[in-house]
Structure 1
Amino acid sequence: MIIPKTREQIELMRESAQIVSKTLGMLAKEVKPGVTTLHLDKLAEEFIRDHGAHPGFLGMYDFPNSLCMSPNAQVVHGIPNEKPLVEGDIISIDCGALKNGFYGDHAYTFAVGEIAPETKKLLEVTKESLYVGIREFKAGNRVGDVGYAIQKFTEDHGYGVVRELVGHGLGAKMHEDPEMPNYGRKGRGKKFVEGMVVAIEPMTNLGTRRIKQLPDGWTILTADNKPSAHFEHDVALIDGKPELLSTFSYIYEALGIESNEEDEFRAKTYD
C-alpha cells in the first residue's frame, strides 16, 4: 500500500535526506587511494549522529555498519572492511539516516583517482539514467514508466540493468511500497499519487545484468566481475511533479564540480 505524505512530513523527510546528502559530501573529500572503507564508515556514523540522526542502515536486517560500501564489481550491500582503496577503483557509497521518525536514503558512486575511460562512461550514463527516470515520476504515470525510461537509456548504451534489486517507497520505514524497478513496460504498475516519496536508484553493470552473492549474505557482485555503478535520489511527488529531497550538490562542492543537473527538480536552494 502506497502511503502518501503530507507537506509537513515531506519537509521532515527532506531534512533526513539532506543529512545523507551532507554525509556524502563530507565523504567526497575522504575518498582517495589508501583509505579503507571501514574508516569512511566510522566517519559517516559520527557525522550522522552529530547531526541529530541515527545511521539508517546500522542494525537494519542485522546489517553491521552505517554505510553500504561497494567497490568495482560489487553492485550494492558491500560491507566496510580494512582493505585500502587504490587508484582506479570506483566505490558506491549508499547511506541512510533516520531523524524525526523518517528516513533519508541515497547513494553515489565515486571515482578513486583516475579511472578507466570505459568505467567513467559507465558512471556518467548511470547517473544520467537516474534523472531520465526521475522525469517520469509525475502525475498520470506509473511505476513501469520510470523503469522503462531507465532501462531503455542504459541498454541503449550497451549496459546491463540489474533486475533483482530495485528502488522503493520511502517514509517511516526504509522500504515502503511501491517497489521501483529499473526496468519495465510503459503504463504498467502502480499509479503515482500526490505526496508519495520514492528512492529511485539505477544499478547498472558494464557487462552482464546478472549478479551473484558472496557468502557473507550481503555483498552483491556482477556475475562477470565487471564494474557496476549505483546512483540514488529521494524524490517527492509535489503538485504533480518530481521534487528532489536529496542533492549531490555537497559532493560537487567538495570535488569542485559545477553542475546544473538538479535544477529542474529543485524547489529551493539549500544552505
Structure 2
Amino acid sequence: MTLRDEGDLEKLKDIGRICARALKLMGESLEPGITTAELDDIGRRYLEAHGAQSAPELCYRFPGATCISVNEEVAHGIPGARVIQAGDLVNIDVSAEKAGLFADTGASFPVPPVRPDIERLVRDGRRALFVGLKTVKPGQSLAAIGNAIGEFARKNRYTLITNLASHGVGYSLHEEPGEIATWPDPSERRVMKDGMVFTIEPFLSTGAHWAESGEEDDWTLYSEPRAPTVQFEHTLVVTRNGPLIVTLPD
C-alpha cells in the first residue's frame, strides 16, 4: 500500500495503536494457568471495544481473533484449550481492521522462569526487528532490510526462518509490496517509496530455517528443524525521516 492522503494516515495510526495496545494487554495477561483461548478472548474484547475487527477472521476465516503460538509453534497457532506453563515461549500476533484500514503487529513473550538462552533470544529478536527498521527510507532497496537482519543473525549465531516474510499492509491484510524477505535475497530489486506501508517481522531462531505445517490442523506452523524461534513485528510507513511506526501502544 502507498498512502493516498492524510486521512488514511490518521486511520492507519488509529488501527495501529489499537493493535499495539491489544498486544500489550495480552502480553501483560500472560501467566501460568491461562489458556490460549482465554488469552485470545482478552484480545478480542479489546479490539471490539475499540471498533476494530480481527483481520485473520475477516480475511481468512481463521478460527480465532489472534494467532497464539507456543514453544515449538512458530506462527498461526490457533487459540484453544492449551494451558500456558511457566517457562513457555509464547508468540502473539495481532492484526485488525477499522474504517477500511489494516495494521499488523506481533511479539514473543517468555513466561518466567525461562532459561538464559531464551531470554537472550527474545532480546535479540527485538533487536533484529529494529536493525531492519533502521534501513527504511525512500529510495532504499527493500533488500536492505534482509541484508541488515541477515548480518545481525550471522554475527550473533542465529538462523532465520526463510519462508515467512514481511508484507505490504493497509487496505488489506496482505498486499503489495508482497513477500519482503527478512533474510538476504539477491533477487530483490524493488525500492522503498515515500508513503509505502508494510511490515517488518523477522523470525529469529537458535537453529531453525523453515516453517512447516503440522498434522493437527491447516494453520499452525512449526520450526524445522525444531528450535526456539521468536518473532517481533511492526507496521510502518516509509517517510523522508525514516520509518513511521504505527503499531506502538502510546
Scaled to the shorter chain, the TM-score interval is over 0.9
Please identify, of 87-96 and 58-67, the stretch whose mean Cα deviation from structure 2 is larger: 58-67
* Change beyond 3 A, Cα 1:5–1:113: farther
Paired residue type of 1:6: D
In 2: Cα distance, 1:210 partner to 1:97 partner: 26
* Change beyond 3 A, Cα 1:224–1:187: closer
C-alpha contact (below 8 Å) 2:147/2:184 kept by paired residues: yes
Written as runs of structure 1 = structure 2, the 5 A alignment for 1:232-243 is: 232-243=233-244
C-alpha contact (below 8 Å) 1:96/1:103 kept by paired residues: yes
C-alpha contact (below 8 Å) 2:205/2:228 kept by paired residues: yes
After superposing on structure 2, the runs of 4+ consecutive aligned residues of structure 1 that deviate more than 6 Å are none
Deviations 1:30-75 (A, max 9, x none): 1011111110111111110000111112243221111110111211
Paired residue type of 2:211: I
Is 1:94 matched with 2:96? no
> In the alignment, which residue of structure 2 is the partner of 1:219?
220
Displacement of 1:240 in angstroms is 4.8
In 2: Cα distance, 1:100 partner to 1:72 partner: 35
> In the alignment, which residue of structure 1 is the partner of 2:184?
184
* Change beyond 3 A, Cα 1:63–1:124: same
Displacement of 1:23 in angstroms is 0.5
Q: Point out where structure 2 has 5 or more consecutive residues left out of the alignment.
A: none
- RMSD of aligned C-alpha atoms? 1.6
Displacement of 1:225 in angstroms is 2.0
* Change beyond 3 A, Cα 1:110–1:67: same
> In the alignment, which residue of structure 1 is the partner of 2:9?
10
Please identify, of 112-121 and 52-61, the stretch whose mean Cα deviation from structure 2 is larger: 52-61
Written as runs of structure 1 = structure 2, the 5 A alignment for 1:42-57 is: 42-57=41-56
Paired residue type of 2:208: T
> In the alignment, which residue of structure 2 is the partner of 1:196?
196
Written as runs of structure 1 = structure 2, the 5 A alignment for 1:147-166 is: 147-166=146-165
> In the alignment, which residue of structure 2 is the partner of 1:205?
205
* Change beyond 3 A, Cα 1:59–1:9: closer
C-alpha contact (below 8 Å) 1:76/1:221 kept by paired residues: yes
Q: Point out where structure 1 has 5 or more consecutive residues left out of the alignment.
A: 251-269
Paired residue type of 1:218: W
In 2: Cα distance, 1:97 partner to 1:200 partner: 16
In 1: Cα distance, 2:190 partner to 2:11 partner: 25
**Helix, strand or coil: the match of 2:108?**
strand
Deviations 1:72-129 (A, max 9, x none): 1211111111111101001000001110100111001111122111111111111101
Aligned residue pairs: how many? 248
| TM-score, scaled to structure 2 | 0.94
In 1: Cα distance, 2:17 partner to 2:89 partner: 23
